[in-house]
């Protein structure tokens, strides 16, 4: 049992951390999180570790223990610049693989190996080889929400934030765009390049409907609806703004709408609301079951044991890394490792 002096020190060390989330985590709940937050932040020092957290992580992870946070593109870009020896990916497995691709000599941990992705599961490397057979000489643009094996069969990767830029950078008339069908449809509206899609979907975003959003708009005055491009086309048609998670966050922080609905994974609203307290958030709460496998408890356990580690077959990693590097090079990002 901690002595009173030690307990007091630990409490005071997390007071400033709690101030970051007090608007979204009730004070009565904080004692559940506080011991893990304190332990994780100490373990990061002893392990020379950083935590990368996706925008869909819960606030106690996103604001209280993460060193780098953002969308898939931001995490990929910033992962290459860390001097830490250990990277903990608070997100899903394909994100941890991307971090490993860009940091082959570092230890990359994912707190729960079962944190997967419906999009990543919707396509295989064999599927891409068959598509190439049917569409010879057509470049393959692959969303980062895919496995390393799929990336290895691709020409270049993209995220929702840079998909149009990536497609147009190739200077061709047609591309295979995989695996999200709805993101492909959105990109097709933004470019003259012919988009050949694959029928993969995100299990979070595909559940939203235009009729649901119309009901919210009728119920709330001055409601601004912003949506992720992985949503179905009819949902995007109802939205006032469409963008990646990073673009959605920037929209709220700069535009400061009186009342906003972020049509994406539910924790995104909590994380933005913690720093934008003058905006009212209406939450159509669809949770990602895979993102929610990551908890403070298993982050702490991963740092203590340095397990589970993400490993990629070297023959796969070389080709997959090239596809990610080509994407990052478009934005002028430095590639190391």
Q: Mind listing the pLDDT tens digit for each residue in 252-261? A: 999 999 999 9
Structure tokens of 115?
């944190």
Q: Is the pLDDT of residue 61 over 90?
A: yes
Cβ–Cβ under 8 Å, residues 161 and 73: yes
Q: Which residue has the tokens 């009728």?
A: 218
Structure tokens of 200?
């993969």
Mean pLDDT over each residue of the chain, to the nearest integer:
92
Please give the average per-residue pLDDT across 139-153, as a whole number. 97
Q: Which residue has the tokens 């101030």?
A: 19
Please give the average per-residue pLDDT across 192-213, as a whole number. 97
Cβ–Cβ under 8 Å, residues 179 and 200: yes
Domain segments of the chain as ranges: 4-116+291-305, 120-198, 205-282
Q: Mind listing the pLDDT tens digit for each residue in 71-98? A: 877 787 787 888 899 999 999 999 999 9
Structure tokens of 97?
């693989």
- Cα separation, 193 vs 138, in Å, equals 12
Q: Mind listing the pLDDT tens digit for each residue in 256-301? A: 999 999 999 999 999 999 989 999 999 887 899 999 999 999 999 9
Architecture label for domain 120-198: 3-Layer(aba) Sandwich (3.40)
Superfamily of segment(s) 205-282: NadA-like (3.40.50.10800)
Q: Is the pLDDT of residue 154 over 60?
A: yes
DSSP label of 180? B
Q: Do domains 4-116+291-305 and 120-198 have the same CATH topology?
A: yes
Q: Whose CA is closest to 261, among 275, 279, 277, 244?
A: 279
- Cα separation, 227 vs 213, in Å, equals 10
Crossing angle of helices 4-19 and 30-47, rounded to 10°: 100
Superfamily of segment(s) 4-116+291-305: NadA-like (3.40.50.10800)
* Buried-state track 227-249, b at ≥16 Cβ within 10 A, e below 16: bbbbbbeebbebbebbbbbbbbb
Q: Is the pLDDT of residue 190 over 60?
A: yes
């Amino acid at each position: 049992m901690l002595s009173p002096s030690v307990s007091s020190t630990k409490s005071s060390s997390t007071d400033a951390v709690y101030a970051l989330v007090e608007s979204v985590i009730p004070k009565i709940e904080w004692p559940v999180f506080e011991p893990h937050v304190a332990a994780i932040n100490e373990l990061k020092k002893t392990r020379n570790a950083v935590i990368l957290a996706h925008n869909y992580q819960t606030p106690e992870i996103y604001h209280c223990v993460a060193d780098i946070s953002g969308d898939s593109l931001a995490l990929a870009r910033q992962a290459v610049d860390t001097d830490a020896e250990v990277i903990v990916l608070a997100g899903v497995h394909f994100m941890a693989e991307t971090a490993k691709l860009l940091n082959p000599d570092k230890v990359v941990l994912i707190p729960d190996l079962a944190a997967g992705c419906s999009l990543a599961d919707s396509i295989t490397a064999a599927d891409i080889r068959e598509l190439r057979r049917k569409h010879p000489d057509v470049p393959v643009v692959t969303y980062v929400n895919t496995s390393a094996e799929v990336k290895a069969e691709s020409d270049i990767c993209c995220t929702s934030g840079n998909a149009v830029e990536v497609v147009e950078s190739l200077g061709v008339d047609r591309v295979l765009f995989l695996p999200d069908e709805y993101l492909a449809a959105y990109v097709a509206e933004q470019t003259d390049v012919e988009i050949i899609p694959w029928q993969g979907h995100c299990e979070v975003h595909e559940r939203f409907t235009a009729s649901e959003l119309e009901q919210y708009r009728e119920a709330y005055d001055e409601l601004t609806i912003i949506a992720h491009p992985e949503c179905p086309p009819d949902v995007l048609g109802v939205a006032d703004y469409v963008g990646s998670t990073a673009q959605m966050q920037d929209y709220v922080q700069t535009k400061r709408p009186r009342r906003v609905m972020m049509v994406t994974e539910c924790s995104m609203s909590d994380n933005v609301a913690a720093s934008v307290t003058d905006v009212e958030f209406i939450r159509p709460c669809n949770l990602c079951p895979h993102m929610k496998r990551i908890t403070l408890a298993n982050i702490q356990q991963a740092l203590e044991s340095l397990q589970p580690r993400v490993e990629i077959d070297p023959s796969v990693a070389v080709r997959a890394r090239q596809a990610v590097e080509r994407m990052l090079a478009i934005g002028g990002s430095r590639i190391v490792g």
